[in-house]
Each structure stands twice: as C-alpha cells, then as structure tokens.
Amino acid sequence: MAEPVLVTQWAVCGIATAAARFVPVPMLDDIVREQALQLAVSRTLRAHDRDYSSDVLEPLWSDVETRGAIRRRLRATAMRMLLFPARKYVAIFGAVRGVPNDVMRVVLLARTLDRRLAAGGLADPARAGEQARDIRHAVDEAIDGMDLRLLIAALSDGLSQGKELAGAAVAYAGRLIRPGAEPTLRPGGAVAAGAEKVAEVFDRPEIVQLLDRFDSHVDSALATA
C-alpha cells in the first residue's frame, strides 16, 4: 500500500497531465504531459531512496519522439504560456472527455512503479530502462484489457466537484514547465483539493478490489515479458 502523501502527489501529477487538454499554446501539450509524468516517477524513486535519475526510466514517462534541440525548442516556448491572460474555464474539469482517464493512467503507472520498487525491482540502473519499458507496456495492456469504468466514473465525480479546477490546473501546469523552475507538488487551492478527491477515490473499498485485479493483470504481463 502506497503512502497517502505519495498517492496525493501522483494525483497532482495526473491533474497536471489532464490540464494539457486545456493548454492554450500549440505544441506544449506533450511537454506538459511528459513533465508531469516524469515528476511522478521522480518522486516515486525518491520515496524508495533510489539515487539514479528519473531519466533512466524515460520509457515510463516519454511518449514523443522529439529529442535534443527540438525538445529544447519546445520547452523554450513554455514561457509563452505564462504570458497568456488568465482565462475563465467554463468546462467542469472532471466532465471533460478524457480527463478522468488521464488522471487514472498517471496514478496507475506510478502506483505500479511503486509496487515494483517496494519488491526490490529496478535496482540496477543499467537494466532499469528496459524494465521500465516492460512496466509501461504491462500497465497499458492492463488498462486496455480491463473494464475500469467504475474507477473512471468515480474520478469524474471527484474531479467535477471543484468549479475552479480547470483554470487552476492549467495555471499549475504552466508553472510546472516554466524553464528553470523547481517543480513543486504543493500546488494549494483547487488543484490540491482535487488531488485529495482523487486520493480518496483510490482508497474506496470497491476501488481497492478493482486495483487488486489490475495488479494481477500487470504482474502476469510482466512475468511473461
């Protein structure tokens, strides 16, 4: 069982990932998602006293092929996002198509990493990248192969309770990718409240049972990887 504070941190990262759907600057959605997911991976490594960089586990958090100068150029445009005037988002965050799924995927991936680290996995940095790729594939396979509508609906309900969450999530995502900024998982306000709601969902008895089945599916896939 993951520490409650860690689950809440994963939830913050999940909300930031979902906020990419609202980002008003073209080409930054992938950067937001990467940064948020890498932060979840980094904090999970730290929780298990692993001293290697989250870069070693890049297959867990990177979905895009851009590298080097292209990625640096995209990150540089992140400052443009901070210069956009504040927008009032009328959409209810949890009701926007895809948002609960985004949050779910981040938490499930980070939670699986947490389980593998707790079991002594990914101890050798030289092999950790390959193992991370297997974990990513196993988690994706489990998500695609299971009926997770109960979890998605519960997340949607929890994330729909804060009317200010959409705007706050986008603002937080902007701070998260600001060049030179130290990432923080203490956003406060609506994002913190939303993360608490997400953490509560993952602690419900019926969701815990669903997660047990999810873990079995992931472990079976990893056993045959």
How many Å apart are CA 167 and CA 163, to the nearest integer?
A: 9
The region of weakest confidence among 40-54, 61-75, 206-220 is 61-75
Question: What is the rounded CA–CA span in Å between residue 127 and residue 206?
Answer: 36
Where do we find the tokens 């989250």? 54
Mean pLDDT is lowest, of 38-42, 143-147, 168-172, for: 168-172
Mean of the pLDDT values across residues 107-116? 98
Q: What percent of the chain has pLDDT over 90?
A: 64
What number is the average pLDDT over the span 61-79? 56
Other CB atoms within 10 A of residue 211 CB: 17
Confidence of residue 78 (pLDDT cuts 50, 70, 90): low
Q: What is this structure's pTM? A: 0.90
- Backbone phi, psi, residue 50, to 5°: -85, 130
Q: Enumerate residues 6+ apart whose C-beta is below 8 A from 71.
A: 31, 64
* Confidence at residue 66, expressed as pLDDT on a 0 to 100 scale: 47
Give me the phi and psi of 67, to 5 degrees please: -140, 170
Range in 9-18, 51-60, 78-87, 111-120 the model is least confident about: 78-87
Query: Given this model, what pLDDT does residue 29 score?
Result: 79
Report the candidate in 196, 223, 175 with the shortest Cα–Cα distance to residue 35.
175
Is pLDDT above 70 for 100? yes
DSSP conformational letter for 20: G
Task: Choose the weakest-confidence range: 25-34, 39-48, 113-122.
Answer: 25-34
Residue where the block lists tokens 């993951």:
2
Query: CA-to-CA distance for 148 and 104, rounded, in angstroms?
Result: 10
Domains of the chain, by residue range, sit at 4-223
pLDDT at 68 over 50: no
Mean pLDDT over 210-224 rounds to: 97
Q: Look at residues 23, 61, 59 and name the one whose alpha carbon lies nearest to residue 134.
A: 59
Distance CA 83, CA 90 (A): 21
